[in-house]
Structure 1
Amino acid sequence: MIERRWLFPFVLCAAGCVEPVVKDRPTPGSVEPLAVAAVPAWIKIGIPVDLRPPEEFARGHLAGAVNLQAGYKQLELRARRFFGASARLCLMAEDPAEAQRLATKVAGSFAEMRFLNARVSDLEASGIKWRRQRTIAPSETAALLASGDALLIDARTAEEYASGHIAGAVLIYPDDAPRQAAFLRPERTVVVICEAGWRSSLVVSWLDRVGFADARNLIGGMVAWRKADKPIERGDEQRSFK
């Protein structure tokens, strides 16, 4: 019997790219802990997913992390739509047990699933690259939009948008943000709003990850906008990118 050998240890990934075989890669569907010391090397090949609420994430997070909060009722579905089944993910929270529980729950849907076996705040203390999310208040947003220098993205459903939105806002459903980002200019200021700040934090964190220079989360979302008595439009006429 002829034994076949490959000259190079490479495989073809789902996206059609060639990647090296990693001998210690976890079996699909399994969940492996990730130590703080291993994070700098792992984030070169995987996506860190921060499960904390938007306010905590905005105050400080691992550079490159995406804020898909544990509070989402359909976390697994949103993660699959956002990252794809071939993604390598590491869930992290302030409670490592919560990260492990959710990682175990959704592990079968992704190529690799890890969980940080430490608190997210331990990463900052370790000296790993840390950053803050850019945020903006309703009053600042109104002035910025009046200058015409920013693009406003509404990260809600079409029904929410029709019931009341900020004039000039472009509707992008959060799950579609990775695809739509290809049509945006990364050097432009982008403000993202949703109803309360959760979905917008997800979208802004993704834009930060892929290299947008100035993506900002409108803190408090449309709830804060209405409380500030700022003007809104109603109707389902949607704006296009400019």
Structure 2
Amino acid sequence: MVIDGQAAAVIDPRRDIDVYLENARRHGANITHVFETHRNEDYVVGSRSLAEVTGATVLHGQAGRVDHAQPVTDGEHFDIGKARLGVLETPGHTLDSISLTLADRDFGDAPVAVFTGDTLFIGDVGRTDFYPERREEMAGKLYDSLFDNLLPLGDGVQLYPAHGAGSVCGSGMAEREFSTLGYERRCNPMLQLDRNAFIRTKSQEHHYQPPYFRRMEALNDRGVEHDALPRPRALPPGPFAERCSDDMTVLDLRTPEAFCGAHIPGSLSMPTAVAPGYIGWLVSYDTPLGLVLDDDADLDRALRELYRLGYDRVEAYLTPGMTAWEASGADYAVVPTIAASTLKQRYEQGEDFVLLDVRGIEEYEAGHLPDAMHVYLGHLPDRLDELPRGIPIVTFCGSGKRAAVAASLLKRHGFDQVENCLGSMAACQAVGCRITD
């Protein structure tokens, strides 16, 4: 968000737009412009909603017309008080990708910052796999956008990308939320490659495209009308159990340790740290949802994250939590956990079990335990028939979070010999498990 005086602009707004409205109100500003750096695939954009409420004009790159926006072209600029936002066409991640330079007109037209969308991240660059038949072409476009349009802006220009670490739009992003073009030019691994190596590397990258991407694209093409966050009912154990017996899917957003210790039978573990990347693979948009949380105070954040991903049918949450469920006498289930040291002993003793590694293929190929069965977590629902039911299955990932999701999915489908390796690869490395590639 850019604010100067009584004018404000928002770039790539999220669906829950109240944060922008409150910020504008606090500064006594009117939101006059809303920019989309590209058509987002991984969340529902709030541009149309924001325009409905404020009267702002929505602007989008000319190469990707969307119903609710006006097209902009390279070189156009827009004044937000004394700030000036300039349009740079930076295709590569998508054909319609733009970046926005920010200049302070009190000191000249040279940019002090740039909003790069999904073109340049802190520590990585955008993915180029959304046009499968044009991967090399798109990689070349991205390289040219980076080296011909963005980096020449100057080493001191501050960088504001659309995503940070953990996003499905790039795997190498830094945990930092700040950088400059000069730092990225010197230290970003992808910017150390020449054009041919860059194209080759980007063309060979493997990215997963969750099925919810198609839904996000359709929603963002037409824009989502302004509406409110879901308002689920707070239900004690008895009424919550009645809804569970109907058609409600229970999402358990607690930590893997809490879920494995006790959970509602049939519920799906979905720790908040991994939910944005995996819920779209595993949970239908058509089913009503009930939530189990560590604390009722976490409800607003959970609702917002689900809302940004297009999940509007959150109908209930359990209050005051699993302790009350247990005290009510209702049945609960557990997932046995296994320490990395015990897993190491099982390998050494030749015990019969299946280690189910649900990490991404690049993580798996970088190092895995011997004879591990690899099934990416997003693909697991379609590959359950490949798993044996007569021997223990130990779910495994990088830390135990995705493994908890996998374990809950197996339990929901009748697998009764399921264990979660808490700590997973991180713990195995710590205790010296044999790792192969």
Q: Secondary structure at the match of 1:31?
A: coil
CA distance in 1, matches of 2:254, 2:288: 19
Identical pairs, percent: 25
Q: Distance in 2 between matches of 1:30 and 1:148?
A: 48
Q: Deviations over 1:100-151 (max 9, x none)?
A: 4413542542555432242232211111111221111223324445535211
Q: 1 or 2 for the larger relative contact order (CA 8 Å, sep ≥6)?
A: 1
1:64 aligns with 2:266: yes
Which structure has the larger Rg over C-alpha atoms?
Answer: 2
1:168 Cα deviation (Å)? Answer: 0.5
Runs of at least 5 residues in structure 1 that lack an aligned partner in the other structure: 1-28, 235-242
Q: Aligned to 1:89, which of 284, 289, 313?
A: 289
Counterpart in the other structure of 2:399? 196
The amino acid that maps onto 1:31 is R
From 226, 230, 240, the equivalent of 2:429 is 226
Alignment partner, residue 278 of structure 2: 78
Partner of 1:32: 232
- Tell me how many residue pairs correspond in the alignment: 205
Equivalent of residue 136 in structure 1, options 325, 338, 343: 338
TM-score (norm 2): 0.44
Cα distance in 1, alignment partners of residues 252 and 277 from structure 2: 16
> Residue type matched to 1:66 in 2?
L
Partner secondary structure for residue 268 of structure 2: coil
Q: CA deviation at 1:229?
A: 0.8
1:77 Cα deviation after fit: 4.9
- 2:269 aligns to what SS in structure 1? coil
The alpha carbon displacement at 1:224 in A equals 0.9
Letter of the structure 1 residue corresponding to residue 306 of structure 2: V
Of 107-116 and 32-41, deviating more is 107-116
Closer/same/farther in 2, CA of residues 33 and 160 from structure 1, 3 Å limit? same
Alignment of 1:1-242 (within 5 A): 30-36=230-236, 37-44=238-245, 45-72=247-274, 75-107=275-307, 108-109=310-311, 111=313, 113-145=315-347, 147=350, 149-234=352-437
What is the RMSD of the two structures over their aligned residues, measured on CA atoms?
2.2
**TM-score, structure 1 normalization:** 0.76
User: 1:98 and 1:147 mapped to 2: Cα distance?
Assistant: 43
Q: 1:137 to 1:79 in 2, by over 3 A?
A: same
Q: Is the 8 A contact 1:195 1:221 kept in 2?
A: yes
Greater alpha carbon shift after TM alignment, 208-217 vs 82-91: 82-91
The AA in structure 2 aligned to 1:82 is L
SS in 1 for 2:259: helix
